[in-house]
Amino acid sequence: MPLKYNGYTPKHDIDFYHWRSDTAENNPQQRKDINIYLNHYLKPKLPEGVIILDVSSKRDFFSVTNNPLFPFNIRGGTDLILVEEGAVETGLVQAGIRAIIELKKNVQDNHAKQVIIEMLIADLCVSDEIKVFGVLTDLVNTWNFYWIEKERRIKSMRLSHREKALDLISQLVSTTQKKESKNVTFGNIKVYREKVKQAFPVKNDSDNDIARIEDLYDDMSTEEIREYEMQVYSDRCIREKLLFFVREFSVVTIHERQAKIYISKTLDLQSNNPTVLKAYAYLAKQAKEQPFCEHPDIIIRLSNENSQSEPPQRYSFRARKNNSNSAPQVRTEPPGSGNFQSGNFVGEYLGYGRSGTTFSCKYNGQDIALKLTDLSKKKFLLPELLKEIEIYHFLADLQGLFIPKLVGYGYMWDKMFFAIATTIVGKSLEHSITINRIQEQNAYKALIEIHRHNVIHNDIRKENIILSNDRKSVFIIDFGLATIDNNKVKQQKEMDQLRCLLKEMVA
- pLDDT tens for 198-213 read 655 544 444 444 444 4
Per mean pLDDT, which range of 118-127, 418-427, 448-457 is the poorest? 118-127
- The H or E element that residue 385 is part of is helix 382-394
Instruction: State the DSSP string of 143-170.
Output: EEEEEEETTTEEEEEEE--HHHHHHHHH
Q: Contact at 8 Å (CB) between 39 and 185? A: no
Tell me the per-residue pLDDT of 254-296, one tens digit each, with 9 for 90 and over.
Answer: 444 443 334 444 444 455 566 666 666 666 666 655 544 444 4
pLDDT of residue 305: 35
> In angstroms, rounded to a whole number, what is the distance separating the alpha carbons of residues 13 and 10?
7
Mean pLDDT across the stretch 33-42?
A: 94
Averaged pLDDT score across all residues of the chain: 71
Flag whether the pTM goes above 0.75. no
Determine the Cα–Cα distance for residues 11 and 161; give it in Å rounded to an integer: 9
Lowest mean pLDDT among 145-159, 322-336, 486-500: 322-336
User: Which residues, 6 or more positions from 306, have their beta carbon under 8 angstroms from its beta carbon?
Assistant: none
Are 453 and 475 contacting, i.e. CB atoms less than 8 angstroms apart? Answer: no
Tell me what pLDDT residue 505 has: 87
Report for 142-151, 309-318, 491-500: range of highest mean pLDDT:
491-500
What pLDDT sits at residue 178? 45
Query: What's the chain's length in residues?
Result: 507
End-to-end CA distance of the chain: 42
Residue 85 — φ and ψ, nearest 5°? -60, -35
434-473 residues labelled b (16+ CB within 10 A) or e (exposed): ebeeebbebbeebbebbbebbbbbebbeebbbbbeeeeeb
Residue-wise pLDDT tens digits, 412-445: 777 788 888 899 888 888 877 788 999 999 999 9
Annotated binding site: 371
Query: Residues within the annotated binding site for ATP?
Result: 371
Phi, psi values for residue 368, rounded to 5°: -130, 155
Is the separation of the CB atoms in 421 and 389 below 8 Å? no
pLDDT at 76 over 50: yes
pLDDT of residue 411: 82
Q: Mean pLDDT throughout 72-92?
A: 82
DSSP letter for each residue of 49-93: TEEEEE-TT-TTSEEE-S-TTSSSEEEE--SEEEEEHHHHHTT-T
Distance, in Å, from the CA atom of 371 to the CA atom of 357, rounded to the nearest integer, reads 5
Residue 479 is predicted with a pLDDT of 92
Residue at 412: amino acid letter: M
d(CA 180, CA 9): 29
Averaged over 19-30, what is the pLDDT? 83
> Which positions ≥6 away from 173 have C-beta within 8 Å?
46, 47, 50, 82, 98, 99
Distances (CA, A) of 216 to 149, 245, 335: 21, 10, 59
Query: How sure is the predictor about 315, in pLDDT bands with cuts at 50, 70 and 90?
Result: very low
Residue 388 pLDDT class (50, 70, 90 cuts): very high
The domains of the chain, with CATH numbers, are 28-255 (no CATH), 276-423 (3.30.200.20), 426-503 (1.10.510.10)
Confidence of residue 328 (pLDDT cuts 50, 70, 90): very low
Q: Is the pLDDT of residue 239 over 70?
A: no
Structural contact between residues 107 and 239, judged by C-beta atoms closer than 8 angstroms: no
pLDDT at 148: 82
Whether the pLDDT of residue 101 is over 90: the answer is yes
How much of the chain, in percent, has pLDDT values that exceed 90?
23
- Is the separation of the CB atoms in 143 and 165 below 8 Å? yes
Q: Which of 15-24, 357-366, 381-390 has the lowest mean pLDDT?
A: 357-366
Position 458 scores a pLDDT of 93
* Residue 503, pLDDT above cutoff 60: yes
Distances from the Cα of 479 to the Cα of 256, 372, 459, angstroms: 18, 15, 8
pLDDT at 71: 53
Residue 344 DSSP label: T
